[in-house]
Amino acid sequence: MKEKEVDKILSEKKIVYVVSDSVGETAEFVVKAVATQFNGGHVDIHRHSNADHKDDIEEVIQMAGKNQSIIAYTLVIPALKAYLDQRAVEEGITAVDLLEPLMNAFEKKFEKQPKHQPKLMRKLDEEYFRKVEAIEFAVKYDDGRDPRGLSRADIILIGVSRTSKTPLSMYLAHQSYKVANVPLVPEIAPPDELFKVPRNKCVGLIITPDKLNEIRKERLKSMGLKSEANYASFERILEELEYADKIMKRVGCPVINVSNKAVEETASLIIDVLKSERSH
């Protein structure tokens, strides 16, 4: 086929060049939505993602000019947007900024300046899925259910019953940390995996006997049980705390006293302590 015939075929095709300094999914979706209003949407969309240099823009300008096409773009980097607008005018190409009208409306209504940073939406999506994965992880590896999760955890919490291991696991999961927790009970040996993980992944949670006694009595009361049960007795509590202390020393992990601390405060301490441990 001769070059002139190829050029003729290309000029007859309805082509829209989608340009983005990110993936370009938003721009492509908008173009498809508009195209369906014209003859069932028979248009070829050529996506040019991650455009972060004038050379990328120039390449699209040349192709769009040759094919008499439209350029639809979502560029948030001011210099690239300005360059594309200028070159489109120079070459007589229709170029449509899909973000500018709404961006201007936001800026005017909320009296704030946009960040002009590409790929922020992608970062938000990735952050969301990391958080969901972390929450699922915390549920799966709560209360020592499966010791295989210890090697995959970002943080491991150990302590006796009622030291806020589960609430802390969930709170930290909402900050995208994968957390596993292991209860320390004298009658049940901790899993071997606990002694194989790096000490800077593990935090021991301790509490004063008085506070633990108070919490456990309330727990028994809420369950309709007598507060004199062995679970809340001082002798049992002291036995458990002594056992937990031995395990924590064996693991060699940092220890945080959770007595009278809110979950948020303890979680912040855990993150600070582990960051300090890992920086050494």
The single-letter code of the amino acid at 116 is: H
Beta strand pairing call for 94-97 and 15-20: unpaired
Q: Residues annotated as binding site for ADP?
A: 159-166
Q: Residues annotated as binding site?
A: 159-166
Distance CA 169, CA 179 (A): 5
HEC states along 138-202?
A: HHHCHHHCCHHHHHHCCEEEEECCCCCHHHHHHHHHCCCCCEEEEECECCECCCHHHHCCCHHHE
**CB contact set of 72 (below 8 Å; sequence gap of 6+):** 16, 17, 18, 19, 27, 30, 31, 95, 96, 98
Q: Classify residue 40 by burial, with Cβ atoms within 10 Å: 0-12, 13-18, 19+.
A: exposed
Distance CA 54, CA 35 (A): 28
The single-letter code of the amino acid at 45 is: I
